[in-house]
Amino acid sequence: MRIIAFYSPKGGVGKTAAAVNIAYLASRDQVATLLWDLDPQGAAGFYLAGAQPVKGRKLSRLLEGKAPIARFVHDDVYPGLDVIPSHPSFRNFDIRLNQDEEGSHSLKKLLAPLSEETSLVVLDCPPTLSRLTEQVLELADRVYVPLVPTWLSLNSWKQLQAFVKSQKLPAKKLRPYFSLVDRRKKLHRELTESSDPGIERLLDVAIPYASVVEQMGEQGQPLEVLAPNTPAAESFRRLWQRIREDLW
């Protein structure tokens, strides 16, 4: 079982859109995939109409070790794509992780029972620097970091690198890529076309700013279902290809 995360300390940079599209593309390539929306305000469910939290299934019980993870998984939202939708109780995830000195409810332990039936776990993370983030950075094989080509966003990339360094986490697994690229903007063009924008391990994939991505939320479908013949869909296919080459 391989684990990847979409993460940035900056909000609204396209983490969730990418996590949903990549999880869908992986499942379509016969990779048994689980998408876990770790954001308590989760948006992944908006992008996948079939993955709303089921009433009565309290995720707090999972975090307390009182219920097995399998009970929270929506099987086959699409063939080969399982989803753990977000839940407001995930806001307590950090408190739990801090209390849990033996790590018995760590993300790693929670995921372990699913390892036989799952080839790829895609974690959609909230934009926070927290204990949960630390665990994700420790656990994931690769962490994909969307960067909007602006100074503010590049600054948050530096902030993330400093955090990783200060926590002695492996920086090598970080994979930044440009997201929400608007070619009408000079700075976006300059940074994405630069032969050396000074960003280590930058992937050669740029996700364009495209209104069709926003429509994913309205339609509750991944881009590959909604609008496969668009440049944005093509850029996500390319991103999936890079991820696949990188993992196996």
Ligand X SMILES: Nc1ncnc2c1ncn2[C@@H]1O[C@H](COP(=O)(O)OP(=O)(O)OP(=O)(O)O)[C@@H](O)[C@H]1O
Nearer to ligand X, 1 or 159 (CB): 159
16 binds ligand X (CB under 6 A): yes
Q: How far is CA 49 from CA 41, 43, 186, 230, in A?
A: 16, 11, 36, 21
Which residues make Cβ contacts (< 8 Å) with residue 104, sequence separation at least 6? 65
Pairing of strands 2-6, 142-147: parallel
Nearer to ligand X, 31 or 123 (CB): 123
209 binds ligand X (CB under 6 A): yes
User: At its nearest, how many Å lie between Mg ion and the CB of residue 172?
Assistant: 24
Nearer to ligand X, 97 or 206 (CB): 206
User: At its nearest, how many Å lie between ligand X and the CB of residue 45?
Assistant: 11
Q: Are 177 and 146 in contact (CB under 8 A)?
A: yes
CA distance 75 to 71: 10
Q: Are 120 and 28 in contact (CB under 8 A)?
A: no
User: At its nearest, how many Å lie between Mg ion and the CB of residue 68?
Assistant: 26
DSSP states of 114-159: GTTT-SEEEEEPPS--SHHHHHHHHH-SEEEEEE-SSHHHHHHHHH
Nearer to Mg ion, 17 or 119 (CB): 17
User: At its nearest, how many Å lie between Mg ion and the CB of residue 184?
Assistant: 25
Q: How far is CA 91 from CA 3, 128, 169, 177, in A?
A: 22, 11, 23, 28
By CB atoms closer than 10 A (0-12, 13-18, 19+), residue 153 is: buried
214 binds ligand X (CB under 6 A): yes
Q: Are 143 and 7 in contact (CB under 8 A)?
A: yes
Nearer to ligand X, 11 or 103 (CB): 11
Q: Which of 15, 28, 74, 175 binds Mg ion (CB under 5 A)?
A: 15
Nearer to Mg ion, 22 or 119 (CB): 22
Closest CA relative to residue 88, chosen from 45, 52, 58: 58
Q: Which of 4, 7, 16, 107 binds Mg ion (CB under 5 A)?
A: 16
- Binding-site partner at residue 127 among Mg ion, ligand X, none, CB < 5 to 8 Å by type: ligand X
The residue range among 6-14, 104-112, 192-200, 237-245 that interacts with ligand X, by the rule CB under 6 A, is: 6-14
Tokens read off for 144: 């994909």
Q: Which of 61, 100, 105, 127 binds ligand X (CB under 6 A)?
A: 127
Interaction mask 28-57, ligand X, x per CB under 6 A: -----------x---x--------------
Binding site for Mg ion (CB under 5 A): 15-16
Q: Binding residues for ligand X, per CB under 6 A?
A: 11-17, 39, 43, 127, 180, 207, 209-210, 213-214, 217, 232
